[in-house]
Structure 1
């Protein structure tokens, strides 16, 4: 009973986190409609994976020294505070600040995967991860339906009610975890002094990771928004971020063997393969979370509830396939094949694509997500020593969010570049032959992009035919921008072709991402099924007085010998 209560309590936290993260992508345009600051929209979504990356490893390491419970409770409580800030936002900086505060709650995400696995027998490890991955899509579905119902019929200001609801769920989740999850103290909690615990944390690694990732993402977010690639704002921040990231790799490889990238985790080949694969999965998921709903609202329906219904299909599929995931290797191969197919299909979407197709494509996305997360986390945890399961989970979640952070920064740069390159020429080619004066072209493009019907009607020379032609050209330009993003996400791009259709800098971005993604399916073939690890041992039982990991290791070895 205690094991079930603990697992259910932490699963509720995952439900709550998905309400927040899906809302940040699906309702970003509603927030912009109320508070302004469209040029900074990407940060509403990006700040969450960035904070997940930055906090996952420190929290996971610290939880081994101070215990899991209060990190879960306190970090989840920050989600309540941040959601209230978002709900009261009257400017884009305030909204971003709110998501930054609520983003702190995602630092607890690796502990959710660790706790559900620790408190149940290892033979149920896949089901433990499946339970986590079922609660996540349920939170996403809840967010899509509630948020869509609140903001439909041109009521973007109701995003405030949505985040009030999120705040209440966050508060309830923190309280339930505080009441139901009461693990015994861990061995290191009792043996080490506070000074020794602080000294064991990887402070240099945390600094290099945080500063490198922030500068890398900031540089890419400024690309074509508003600075060109040659501008010092873009180049300086981007190159310094890359240099710090390289420094992190060298430091962890040569100088720090027990830090964020603990060398004990890499003795089994499944772990580095799982880390690489989950990085690629993060790239795909955050692309879908940001651009799928955006594309539906641009091309087919502005109704947020209808958009949410389309996107929710992916999460129903996600929940189903998370439960039925069985063996590890075959499931991972199928998962990444599905993600690749989904991205390829989305790259073919245009304003004339049948709506029926857009009900079917999310099913394929759900297959990839449901199979992938359950199997990869199970493979990684089985490959890790028992005493490092939290660090293992932290690294997996951190790397997944790193993929999302890097991917979003690159997607944003690609999208802005493609849109700025195609928008004005396509609209001009469509409306100038119809008689629109050249002096009216600039105001017409600005008003059309802002969807300001009142301003469009006041522009000299504008008529219904010109408005219709301009609107079609606008959608065509957005279609090109979306296509390049999905091509990048699916790695469905040959360098020779890309070099002819995009500026060199964007080509490099897509090629680099494409090379990475084209190898994830190959990596999945080398993951093996750890059948001997599925036994009745419980890594961290909640019924004992103290969790002694050394005894657990001995017991596990005895169990393996019997098998």
Structure 2
């Protein structure tokens, strides 16, 4: 008779994975004292090195994003935004296959390769003189980032006791703290040296992490390939699944990046890759279910329990919400409220710090929750949704209140976006930790890409109408001749500092135009925040279906280090 894992516990793994959900506390505590892991010097260095490459995977993207306004003129291009697109595309496309490969062949050499790519990518970007070399650097960096973020999370998860995965992944996440003020670092580097040193720092950081991985990270060989020759191992690789997933995801993301940004949605340049990508992703799902003997996405990850699937749904929604705040709150900081650079920087410090705090606190609480994760995720999802929606009340005159709302929403986002991965890893079979982590990261990036497309199109469609209408009405009322209005609007949109040089423009007219431009921005963003309520509500509902995961929370260690 088939086992119901929701009631009877998992079929895989040692016997200390308890079946009692509601809890025999003494029984669990007795078991946890039997297999306490020894933190040797090598294990500590390996843990630190995995933290370094995890941070390094984020830093190259942060530093590039923060220096785009400097990179564009340096490489003589108006398309510097494609650097971020290249990085995201590479991460999302390769991560599922990398997780599968590391579960099949092991993580050590894949981790070394990924961290080496991060070093090379940082150096190439730091010295780039053309758009081509910059895009190449970001593509390499995206592949390296996907490998290292995945390897760090999966590697830490499997070398620490299962019960304490929440705490250890919280520590990994918290290690990004030195780079939270990266905007300040970039400003200082640009003022006193060059923006290129921002990528130089990323190269040095990743170089140190690479050395640590080489010296200390020696997980045992995977048992998945015991008794197999190299040729047998090569035959096991799911090449068809890799092709369908990488090609499908890449084409889909290229399509949604084009649509509404550079070409209309009805254009073949947007529709063709998006539709083909969707068809390939559907084909991938059917192929994985019926064709390969050793698929990229094994059914065992989902069989008999709903934890992993619901965690993926929640992290997809959190990814969409994450990009609403990440993409549009900085726009509010820069253009909705007039403030000194220092005050703008202070307001901008709260929301990334809140994301980090939420991720670390909730991940840590998972280890002490006795399996009651539903409550943690429901509270986080409500925070995320309610306060993102509250940003619809933002105006040019309430920056403090709006900043508080963005910070509280970010606290909820952080409480989901990393902990959802942690919950999935609790329930994952040991043989598929890498695949489980990889799919979680891919789902998060897909959610972010889909969310960005939805939000941007809502904002762009509103702003194209409201900006000229609001500004024209205000400046005409302030005394600007109607014949000068089109020039005023075009100049205000492109270079506000040049508006006062236009004939007939007084300070009163200028201020009236700027204020209405701010109101146009606030009113256009309102649709984004309303949409985030609908999307976030799905996350709240999904989180309520998370079961108790107590039976997975033991001191069992998936692998030991040699």
TM-score range, shorter chain: 0.7 to 0.9
2:544 maps to 1:530: no
Shift of 1:408: 2.3
Shift of 1:113: 1.5
* In 1: Cα distance, 2:238 partner to 2:261 partner: 35
Q: Is the contact between residue 100 and residue 297 of structure 2 (CA under 8 Å) also seen in structure 1?
A: no
Shift of 1:19: 2.4
Question: What's the secondary structure of 2:195's corresponding residue?
Answer: helix
Residues 461-488 of structure 1 show CA distances to partners (whole Å, capped at 9, x for unaligned) of: 3222222222122222222333333333
Q: Is the contact between residue 351 and residue 410 of structure 2 (CA under 8 Å) also seen in structure 1?
A: no
Shift of 1:307: 5.1
Shift of 1:446: 2.7
Q: Is the contact between residue 6 and residue 181 of structure 1 (CA under 8 Å) also seen in structure 2?
A: yes
* In 1: Cα distance, 2:404 partner to 2:188 partner: 19
2:396 maps to 1:351: yes
2:446 maps to 1:402: yes
Aligned residue in 2 for 1:481: 524
Aligned residue in 1 for 2:11: none
TM-score (norm 1): 0.82
Q: Is the contact between residue 351 and residue 406 of structure 2 (CA under 8 Å) also seen in structure 1?
A: no
Aligned residue in 2 for 1:504: none
* In 1: Cα distance, 2:408 partner to 2:76 partner: 34
1:423–1:407 Cα change, 3 Å = same
1:323 is matched with which residue: 352, 355, 364? 364
The correspondence of residues 248-327 of structure 1 with structure 2, limited to 5 A, is 248-256=284-292, 258-267=294-303, 268-300=305-337, 301=339, 303=341, 305-306=345-346, 308-315=348-355, 317-318=357-358, 319-325=360-366, 326-327=368-369
Aligned residue in 1 for 2:113: 74
Aligned residue in 1 for 2:484: 440
Residues 258-285 of structure 1 show CA distances to partners (whole Å, capped at 9, x for unaligned) of: 4232111111211111111111122122
Question: What's the secondary structure of 1:185's corresponding residue?
Answer: coil
Shift of 1:388: 1.3
Aligned residue in 2 for 1:22: 62
Q: Is the contact between residue 35 and residue 89 of structure 1 (CA under 8 Å) also seen in structure 2?
A: yes
Question: What's the secondary structure of 1:191's corresponding residue?
Answer: coil
* In 1: Cα distance, 2:151 partner to 2:392 partner: 35
Residues 233-259 of structure 1 show CA distances to partners (whole Å, capped at 9, x for unaligned) of: 233333333333332333334444742
* In 2: Cα distance, 1:247 partner to 1:4 partner: 43
1:105 is matched with which residue: 144, 151, 155? 144
* In 1: Cα distance, 2:467 partner to 2:124 partner: 35
Aligned residue in 2 for 1:169: 205
Select between 463-472 and 480-489 the one with higher mean Cα deviation.
Answer: 480-489
How many residues are aligned here? 512
1:438–1:395 Cα change, 3 Å = same
2:416 maps to 1:380: no
* In 2: Cα distance, 1:536 partner to 1:270 partner: 20
* In 2: Cα distance, 1:520 partner to 1:397 partner: 17
Question: Which structure carries more helix by proportion?
Answer: 1
2:263 maps to 1:227: yes
1:338 is matched with which residue: 366, 369, 383? 383
Aligned residue in 1 for 2:465: 421
1:362 is matched with which residue: 407, 415, 419? 407
2:55 maps to 1:55: no
TM-score (norm 2): 0.82
* In 1: Cα distance, 2:326 partner to 2:95 partner: 21
2:48 maps to 1:8: yes
Shift of 1:60: 1.4
Q: Is the contact between residue 270 and residue 528 of structure 1 (CA under 8 Å) also seen in structure 2?
A: yes
Shift of 1:351: 1.8
The correspondence of residues 37-48 of structure 1 with structure 2, limited to 5 A, is 41=81, 43-48=82-87
Q: Is the contact between residue 26 and residue 290 of structure 1 (CA under 8 Å) also seen in structure 2?
A: no
Shift of 1:373: 4.2
Shift of 1:86: 3.0
1:314–1:6 Cα change, 3 Å = same
Q: Is the contact between residue 140 and residue 315 of structure 1 (CA under 8 Å) also seen in structure 2?
A: no
Shift of 1:68: 0.6
1:132–1:458 Cα change, 3 Å = same
Shift of 1:89: 4.2
Shift of 1:340: 0.9
1:88–1:4 Cα change, 3 Å = same
Shift of 1:396: 1.3
1:364–1:542 Cα change, 3 Å = same
* In 2: Cα distance, 1:90 partner to 1:348 partner: 43
Shift of 1:404: 1.6
Residues 474-525 of structure 1 show CA distances to partners (whole Å, capped at 9, x for unaligned) of: 222222333333333332xxxxxxxxxxxxxxxxxxxxxx3xx432222211
Q: Is the contact between residue 22 and residue 289 of structure 1 (CA under 8 Å) also seen in structure 2?
A: no
* In 2: Cα distance, 1:89 partner to 1:481 partner: 37
Listed as ranges, the gaps of 5+ residues in structure 2 are 1-39
1:39–1:467 Cα change, 3 Å = farther
* In 1: Cα distance, 2:192 partner to 2:97 partner: 37
Select between 461-470 and 387-396 the one with higher mean Cα deviation.
Answer: 461-470
Q: Is the contact between residue 147 and residue 305 of structure 1 (CA under 8 Å) also seen in structure 2?
A: no
Listed as ranges, the gaps of 5+ residues in structure 1 are 492-513, 544-563
Shift of 1:118: 0.9
The correspondence of residues 121-200 of structure 1 with structure 2, limited to 5 A, is 121-136=161-176, 138-150=177-189, 158-188=194-224, 191-200=227-236
Aligned residue in 2 for 1:500: none
Q: Is the contact between residue 39 and residue 225 of structure 1 (CA under 8 Å) also seen in structure 2?
A: no
Aligned residue in 1 for 2:37: none
RMSD: 2.8
* In 2: Cα distance, 1:34 partner to 1:130 partner: 38
Q: Is the contact between residue 317 and residue 367 of structure 1 (CA under 8 Å) also seen in structure 2?
A: no
Residues 96-122 of structure 1 show CA distances to partners (whole Å, capped at 9, x for unaligned) of: 443222112222222211111111122
1:426–1:245 Cα change, 3 Å = farther
